[in-house]
Structure 1
Amino acid sequence: MALHSAPAARRSSGLITGILCLSGTVVALQQTMVIPLLPDFPKILGISSDDASWLVTITLLTSAIATPIVSRLADMFGKRRMMLISMAMIVLGSLIAAAGGTFVTLLIGRGLQGFAISMIPVGISIMRDELPKDKVASATALMSATLGIGSALGLPLSGLIFEQFGWEAIFWLSAAVGVMLIVAVALVIPESSVRTRGKFDFLGAVMLSVALAALLLAISKGARWGWTSEPTILMFVLGFTVLALWFPYELRVTQPMVDLRTSAKRPVLLTNLASVMVGFSMYANNLSTTQQLQMPKISGYGFELGVMAAGICMIPAGLAMVFFAPVSAKITKRFGAKTTLMVGAVVLAGAYVARVFLTGSIPLIVISAAVVSIGTAIAYSAMPMLIMRSVPITETASANGLNSLLRSVGTSMSSAVVAAMLTALVIPSGPGAGLPSIDAFKNIFWLAALAAVAALAAAAFIPRYGAKPESAVRPVTPEGFEIPSTDNDIVVAGRVIRADKRPVKQAVVTVMDMAGSPVDWSRADNEGVFSLALPEPGRYLVVTSADGWSPTSQVIRFDNAESTHTVMLGERLTISGQVTIAGLLTSGTVITLTKPTGEFVASTLTDHAGRYGIALPSSGRYILTALADDGAGSQARQIAVIAQSTSVDFDVPLEQLPVPSRV
Structure 2
Amino acid sequence: MASHARTRTAHPTPVLGVVLLSVFAFALLQSLISPVLPVLRAELDTSQDLIAWVMTAFLLSASISTPLLGRLGDRYGKDRVLVASLVALAAGSAVSALAPGIELMLVGRVVQGVGGGVLPLAFGIIRDELPRERAPGAIGVAAALAAVGGGVGIVVAGPLTDTLGVRSLFWVPAVLTAVAAVTARLVVPPSPSRSRGPISWLATVLLAGWLTALLVPLAQASRWGWTSAAVILPLVAAVVLAVAWVVTERRSDRPLVDMRMMRSPAVWATNLVSLLFGVGLFAVMVFLPGFVQAPPESGYGFGVSVTRSGLLLLPMTVTMFFAGLASARLARRFGPRAVLVAASALNATAVAMLAVQHDRQWQIPVALALLGIALGTAFSTMANVIVAAVRPDQTGVANGVTANVRTLGGSLGVAAMSAIVGAHTPVGGGLPTETGYTVGFAVLGVAGVAALVAATRVPGRAPTTTR
TM-score by length of 1: 0.68
Contact 1:276 / 1:409 at 8 angstroms: preserved in 2?
A: yes
The CA RMSD over aligned residues, in Å, is 1.8
Distance 1:436 1:306 in 2: 18
Contact 2:87 / 2:181 at 8 angstroms: preserved in 1?
A: yes
Shift of 1:413: 0.7
Shift of 1:3: 9.2
Partner of 1:204: 203
Shift of 1:12: 4.1
Q: Considering Cα pairs closer than 8 Å and 6+ residues apart, tell me whether 1 or 2 has the greater RCO.
A: 2
Matched, 1:67 2:66: yes
Distance 1:406 1:396 in 2: 15
Contact 1:83 / 1:119 at 8 angstroms: preserved in 2?
A: yes
Partner of 2:458: 462
Shift of 1:311: 1.3
CA shift in 2, pair 1:354/1:170, >3 Å = closer
Contact 1:285 / 1:372 at 8 angstroms: preserved in 2?
A: no
Distance 2:353 2:102 in 1: 41
Question: What is the SS of the residue equivalent to 1:152?
Answer: helix
Shift of 1:2: 10
Distance 2:12 2:248 in 1: 44
Partner of 2:406: 407
Partner of 1:439: 435
Distance 1:42 1:123 in 2: 34
Question: What is the SS of the residue equivalent to 2:362?
Answer: helix
How does 1:578-657 map onto structure 2 within 5 Å? none
User: Given residue 187 of structure 1, which amino acid in structure 2 is its aligned partner?
Assistant: L
Shift of 1:302: 1.4
Partner of 2:242: 243
CA shift in 2, pair 1:259/1:6, >3 Å = closer
Q: Deviations over 1:621-640 (max 9, x none)?
A: xxxxxxxxxxxxxxxxxxxx
How does 1:94-113 map onto structure 2 within 5 Å? 94-113=93-112
Matched, 1:81 2:80: yes
Q: Deviations over 1:185-228 (max 9, x none)?
A: 12222222111011111111011111101101111111111111
Distance 1:170 1:480 in 2: 41
Shift of 1:480: 5.7
Matched, 1:449 2:433: no
User: Given residue 431 of structure 2, which amino acid in structure 1 is its aligned partner?
Assistant: L
Distance 1:256 1:59 in 2: 26
User: Given residue 70 of structure 2, which amino acid in structure 1 is its aligned partner?
Assistant: S
Partner of 2:55: 56
Q: Deviations over 1:401-453 (max 9, x none)?
A: 01110000001111111111211124x6xx93342222222222222221121
Q: Deviations over 1:624-658 (max 9, x none)?
A: xxxxxxxxxxxxxxxxxxxxxxxxxxxxxxxxxxx
Question: What is the SS of the residue equivalent to 2:358?
Answer: coil
Partner of 1:256: 255
Contact 1:331 / 1:339 at 8 angstroms: preserved in 2?
A: no
Unpaired segments ≥5 residues, structure 1: 466-478, 482-518, 521-534, 536-663
Partner of 2:114: 115
Partner of 1:267: 266
Q: Deviations over 1:124-148 (max 9, x none)?
A: 1111111112211221111112232
Matched, 1:327 2:326: yes
How does 1:248-327 map onto structure 2 within 5 Å? 248-327=247-326
Contact 1:226 / 1:232 at 8 angstroms: preserved in 2?
A: yes
User: Given residue 289 of structure 1, which amino acid in structure 2 is its aligned partner?
Assistant: L
How does 1:364-375 map onto structure 2 within 5 Å? 364-375=363-374
CA shift in 2, pair 1:343/1:188, >3 Å = farther
Shift of 1:168: 2.2
Distance 1:204 1:145 in 2: 31
CA shift in 2, pair 1:352/1:168, >3 Å = closer
Question: What is the SS of the residue equivalent to 2:108?
Answer: helix
Partner of 2:32: 33
Contact 2:323 / 2:373 at 8 angstroms: preserved in 1?
A: yes
Shift of 1:7: 3.2
How does 1:166-565 map onto structure 2 within 5 Å? 166-426=165-425, 432-465=428-461, 479=462, 481=464, 519-520=465-466
Q: Deviations over 1:291-330 (max 9, x none)?
A: 2210111112210111121112222211111111122121
Contact 2:222 / 2:422 at 8 angstroms: preserved in 1?
A: no
Distance 2:337 2:130 in 1: 22
Distance 1:304 1:100 in 2: 32
Contact 2:4 / 2:190 at 8 angstroms: preserved in 1?
A: no
Contact 2:63 / 2:407 at 8 angstroms: preserved in 1?
A: yes
Matched, 1:137 2:136: yes
Unpaired segments ≥5 residues, structure 2: none
Contact 1:293 / 1:303 at 8 angstroms: preserved in 2?
A: yes
Contact 1:284 / 1:414 at 8 angstroms: preserved in 2?
A: yes
Q: Deviations over 1:1-32 (max 9, x none)?
A: 99931335xx143x333321221111011111
Q: Deviations over 1:378-407 (max 9, x none)?
A: 111111222222222211110110111000
Distance 1:191 1:343 in 2: 38
Distance 2:304 2:355 in 1: 20
Q: Deviations over 1:454-480 (max 9, x none)?
A: 111112122334xxxxxxxxxxxxx46
Contact 2:35 / 2:289 at 8 angstroms: preserved in 1?
A: no
Question: What is the SS of the residue equivalent to 1:132?
Answer: coil
Q: Deviations over 1:575-596 (max 9, x none)?
A: xxxxxxxxxxxxxxxxxxxxxx
Distance 1:337 1:129 in 2: 22
Contact 2:214 / 2:235 at 8 angstroms: preserved in 1?
A: yes
User: Given residue 435 of structure 1, which amino acid in structure 2 is its aligned partner?
Assistant: L
Question: What is the SS of the residue equivalent to 2:6?
Answer: helix
Shift of 1:375: 0.3
Contact 2:39 / 2:166 at 8 angstroms: preserved in 1?
A: no
Distance 1:2 1:287 in 2: 43
Question: What is the SS of the residue equivalent to 1:43?
Answer: helix
- The 4+ residue runs of structure 1 with deviation greater than 4 A are none
Distance 2:257 2:440 in 1: 33
CA shift in 2, pair 1:180/1:3, >3 Å = farther
> Aligned residues: percent identity?
30
Contact 2:336 / 2:459 at 8 angstroms: preserved in 1?
A: no
Question: What is the SS of the residue equivalent to 1:435?
Answer: coil
Distance 1:220 1:376 in 2: 23
Contact 2:351 / 2:445 at 8 angstroms: preserved in 1?
A: yes
Partner of 1:45: 44
Contact 2:12 / 2:129 at 8 angstroms: preserved in 1?
A: no
Partner of 2:7: 5
- Equivalenced residue count is 465
User: Given residue 441 of structure 2, which amino acid in structure 1 is its aligned partner?
Assistant: F
Question: What is the SS of the residue equivalent to 2:198?
Answer: coil
Distance 2:348 2:181 in 1: 39
Question: What is the SS of the residue equivalent to 1:80?
Answer: helix
Task: Judging by fraction of residues, say which structure has more strand.
Answer: 1
Q: Deviations over 1:26-50 (max 9, x none)?
A: 1011111211221123321121111
Shift of 1:74: 0.5
Task: Judging by fraction of residues, say which structure has more helix.
Answer: 2
- Bigger Cα Rg: 1
Distance 2:398 2:25 in 1: 22
